[in-house]
Amino acid sequence: MLKINQMYKEKIRFLISGGFSTSLSYLLYATLIYFDFRYYLSMTMAYMLGYISNFVIGRYWVFEGGRKLNSISKEIFLTLAVTIIGLVLNLLIIKILSETVFHINYYLSGFIAIFIVTFWNYWGRKKWIYN
């Protein structure tokens, strides 16, 4: 019973911290798009801001019950690897939605991409880093 409660607590905390980091990231992305930055530069800068906030919150609040790595540099490297994969997925989704298939605006495609990639971020961090 305790393990089930910990699992739900972790997922709820991930959603809260992810919501905060995603909101911060999307706000920067939308602002940069508004000022005519290219979508790939906007998403890269926004995603890195989200990564930093999500790393700190995730390490100290979300995955508190999971295994911590002995080396913070290894933990940073692994979370950065998950983040870079997520960034590439985001950029591919935006390209497909806005430039090659559907031609929807960058605001909506960025929002959809961030929403989809959230699942990768949780799974990647949970399975590779904080299991």
pLDDT in tens, the chain (131 residues): 556 676 788 788 888 988 898 899 999 999 999 999 999 999 999 999 998 998 888 878 887 655 556 778 888 888 899 999 999 999 999 999 999 999 999 999 999 998 899 888 888 988 888 77
**What CA–CA distance (Å, rounded) separates 22 from 28?**
10
This prediction has a pTM of: 0.81
pLDDT of residue 115: 85
Using alpha carbons only, how large is the chain's radius of gyration in Å? 15
Do residues 43 and 29 make contact, with C-beta atoms less than 8 angstroms apart?
yes
- Boundaries of every domain in the chain: 2-128
